[in-house]
A and B are shown apart, each in its own frame.
Chain A
């Protein structure tokens, strides 16, 4: 079928948009600005960032789910992802 390659191309083209959720250990940035834009690229709507106990804490919403994401500004790695229920 002629549609198959097209669909395949579309799937690949779309894959950056269907972004990955962040997980513990992901390096997403050492600066608040970089962290916020990395999260935005992964489909998070960043609501608030603040420093807490030496970590950057990000309040974000993704697909109707609420997250608190903690990042170590030294390493740029996510140290904890807490979903609020």
Chain B
């Protein structure tokens, strides 16, 4: 996957107009997506594998969290602080067709990232509670676990819609930024 020489700025490389996210961001993103799919659609809710997969998700989110503190600038939380006013401005810009370019997540994307992480952590927390003696078989915990998963699915739908919309509006393929480059770079260096 390493391309010749010209390493990108801030731990990312340019592919055409799209900055690829760094490997840890991409790895955690797709691993979590895959494991959520596995736990939500394939594995039995009550089985031990479901629990192991949950631990793996927790570990991946924790790794991304550490990366948000010490990783490359673009992956750091300080590059995309959650801000409602920035999100409002961003919506306004999109509405008027004059959106600026965002090096990290755009403000709406940032809110979605925090929402997804918080939801994943809450699902993991309620899952751990269900495994504990104190909350074993306690109904509201199970209901919270399921409601949070439903919210995660809604969020994923919104997230994917946002990526498609932003790619369309900006003319930059954001999916490629998360997939990375498995083919020759199409022009434009850093």
User: When the two chains form their complex, are residues A48 and B133 in contact, meaning their CB atoms are under 8 A apart?
Assistant: no
CA–CA, A48 and B136, complex, Å: 9
CB-CB contacts of B134-173 with A at 8 A, as 1s and 0s? 0011110000000000000000000000000000000000
- Interface footprint category on A: under 10
Interface string of A48-69 (1 = CB under 8 A from B): 1000000000011100111000
Contact assessment for B137 and A47 in the assembled complex, using a CB-CB cutoff below 8 Å: yes
* Docked complex Cα distance between A59 and B138 (Å): 9
Within 8 A of B (CB), among A5-22: none
Closest Cβ–Cβ distance, residue A36 to chain B (whole Å): 12
- Residues facing A in B25-39 (CB within 8 A) are none
Interface of A is mostly: strand
Chain B minimum-CB-distance residue to A46: B137
A84 contacts chain B at the CB level, 8 A cutoff: yes
Choose among A48, A64, A65, A84 the residue that contacts B138 (Cβ–Cβ < 8 A). A48
Of A48, A60, A65, the residue contacting B139 (CB under 8 A) is A48
Identify which of residues 3-52 in chain B touch chain A, using a CB-to-CB cut-off of 8 Å.
none
CB pair A59 B133 closer than 8 Å: no
* A47 contact set on B, CB distance < 8 A: 136-138
Can you spell out 9 A-B residue pairs with CB atoms less than 8 angstroms apart? Answer: A47-B136, A47-B137, A47-B138, A48-B138, A61-B133, A61-B136, A61-B137, A66-B137, A84-B136
Q: Interface residues, chain A, CB within 8 Å of chain B?
A: 47-48, 59-61, 64-66, 84
- Sample of 16 more A-B contacts, CB < 8 Å, known A48-B137, A61-B137, A66-B133: A47-B136, A47-B137, A47-B138, A48-B138, A48-B139, A59-B136, A59-B137, A60-B137, A61-B133, A61-B136, A64-B133, A65-B133, A66-B136, A66-B137, A84-B131, A84-B136
